[in-house]
Amino acid sequence: MDWKLEGSARKTDSRVLQEQEVILEDTGEDSISESFQLLQIDVECEHLEGDTLPTGSAMWCSLSRLAGQIRRLYGSNKKADRPFWIYLTGFTTDSHLYEECLRMNDGFSSYLLDITEEDCFSLFPLETLVYLTPDSEHALEDVDLNKVYILGGLVDESIQKKVTFQKAQEHSVKTARLPIQEYMVRCQNRKNYHSEILAINQVFDILSAYFETQNWPEALKKGVSSRKGYVLQNSVE
């Protein structure tokens, strides 16, 4: 599943409205008329379809987590002064994930977003796409209103490393990572744990905060908790 973000100064000027990280609830017509970004969540990265699906509690735990992230992302977008338009791509209404979203998220079927079975690489010109992945060599410096930003809908951090990065490379799509390394430093913790892998709602909160403040340290505080093993540089004595 891909979440895409595309930028536009005004709703009437946008060539497309779309997604990832995913799912934003109705913000009201007036609230989305001024400005928004396009966010797309790539559901296909979950590989939760057909006979390839895992079975049992592990599958439903992963589905529930992703559905919960979608709910939180949508809720954050409703509250944003400059909300994004969301696309869920590679998302079918007969999938287990869709069923879980309906079960966990009240009013999901009336969320103000677009759902499509098409993948993000077919919907938009490839040169407009930016796949957000922690494996990219390039730090995201700004949010370009003419780009579509994609969040891969992955839940389990332990499976198939670099799957979103490799998917972007296969389609010759640009990649970027959040500038965690540029503005944050590792902090000591009991488990010596440090990770730049974030849930789609956390990535969204960072993008949304940056879009409003144009301040990366302020934005990163919104989505990167100390539990990830990182703190802002100026917070270290």
CATH number at residue 177: 3.40.1280.30
| Pair of tokens at residue 125 | 């010109």
pLDDT, average across residues 162-171:
90
Looking at the predicted structure, is the pLDDT value of residue 195 above 80? yes
**Domain assignment of residue 22, yes or no:** no
**Residue 139: inside a domain:** yes
* % of the chain with per-residue pLDDT over 70: 71
Interatomic CA distance for residues 8 and 16, integer angstroms: 9
**Looking at the domain assignment, is residue 176 inside a domain?**
yes
* Number of domain units in the chain: 1
What is the pLDDT confidence band of residue 194, given thresholds at 50, 70 and 90? confident
Backbone φ, ψ for residue 24 (5° rounding): -115, 135
Task: Assess if residue 27 is contained within a domain.
Answer: no
Terminal-to-terminal C-alpha distance of the chain: 41
Report CA 64 to chain centroid distance, whole Å: 16
3-state secondary structure 33-55: CCCECEEEEEHHHHCCCHHHCCC
Of the listed ranges 114-128, 129-143, 150-164, 204-218, the least confidently predicted one is 150-164
* 1 Cβ contact partners less than 8 Å away, ≥ 6 residues apart: 20, 22, 41, 42, 43, 44, 45, 46, 66, 88, 89, 90, 91, 97, 152, 153
Q: What is the pLDDT of residues 9-21, one digit of tens each?
A: 233 232 232 333 3
Res 60: pLDDT: 61
* CA within 13 Å, CB half, 25: 15
What pLDDT does 178 receive? 97
CA distance 115 to 225: 30
List Cβ<8 Å contacts ≥24 apart for 190-195. 192/229, 193/228, 193/229, 194/228, 194/229, 194/230, 195/157, 195/228, 195/229
pLDDT digits (tens, 9 = 90+) for 26-70: 333 333 323 344 566 666 544 433 434 445 555 667 888 899 999
Q: Kindly report which listed range (30-39, 87-96, 187-196) carries the lowest average pLDDT score.
A: 30-39
Q: Is residue 60 part of a domain?
A: yes
Q: Which of the four pLDDT bands, split at 50, 70 and 90, describes residue 236?
A: low
Backbone angles phi, psi at 8, to 5 degrees: -160, 145
Q: Which domain holds residue 176?
A: 37-44+56-235
pTM score:
0.78
Burial 14-38 (b: 16+ CB within 10 A, else e): bebbbbbbbbbbebeeebbeebbbb
3-state SS, one letter per residue, for 128-149 = HEEEECCCCCCECCCCCCCCEE
Confidence at residue 98, expressed as pLDDT on a 0 to 100 scale: 92
pLDDT band with cut points at 50, 70 and 90 for residue 142: very high
pLDDT of 5 reads: 55
Written as six digits, the tokens of 51 are: 């006979």
